[in-house]
Amino acid sequence: MKVVKRLLIIFFIILACVGCDQSTKLLATKTLANKPTASFFGDTFRLQYTENTGSFLGLGGNLPNKQRFLFFTVMVTLILLGLFAYTLVNKKLDITKIFTFSIILGGGISNLYDRIVNEGAVVDFMNMGIGQLRTGIFNVADVLIMVGVFVLLIHSIKKENYEKNDL
């Protein structure tokens, strides 16, 4: 696949991911901020606005501002740039990997954008679970990243099994 075609695919997937995530965060900010938690489907799904200064499940949220900035803004930017370069130039990547890396990039870029414009915080607003067994509060970008990682894992396992059976 030519670099220009690959760049266009990556760009439009990232654009779609960032657009979806940022539009849902804007809607959540306008409709959920300073309001009580909304519960649906027998409390299986909740909408609850929060601004997370940490990472997954708030990890690192208590670090000093300078360390949080270095880790969650500078390091994440470098990782995303590396993943983008890898996705763009690695000719061995198939379309599934290009797609999955692109949605991971889209989710990562959207959360990074949040950190930059929201003084280090990411808008989170969804929660799922049953009773006391619940996820952390998350957003669409987090879902995109997790779906990308899951698809990449399944794709790698299937490819590995295919190669074993092909011998």
The pLDDT profile of the chain, 167 residues, written as one tens digit per residue, is: 798 999 999 999 999 999 999 999 999 999 999 999 999 999 999 999 999 998 877 788 888 989 999 999 999 999 999 999 999 999 999 999 999 999 999 999 999 999 999 999 999 999 999 989 999 999 999 999 999 999 999 998 887 776 666 55
Q: 101-111, pLDDT tens digit by residue?
A: 999 999 999 99
Q: 127-144, pLDDT tens digit by residue?
A: 999 989 999 999 999 999
How many domains is the chain partitioned into structurally?
1
Q: How far apart are CA 135 and CA 132, in angstroms?
A: 10
Q: In what order do the strands lie in the sheet with 133-134?
A: 38-40, 45-52, 122-130, 133-134
Q: What is the pTM of this model?
A: 0.90
Domain hosting residue 117, numbered range: 3-166
Please list the residues that pair with 134 across neighbouring strands. 129
Nearest to 79 by CA among 40, 111, 118, 43: 111
Q: How far apart are CA 92 and CA 67, in angstroms?
A: 36
Give the up-direction half-sphere exposure of residue 69: CA atoms within 13 A in the CB hemisphere: 7
Catalytic positions are: 124, 142
Q: C-alpha angle with apex 101: 96 to 104, nearest 5 degrees?
A: 130
Through-space distance between the first and last CA atoms of the chain, rounded to whole angstroms = 28
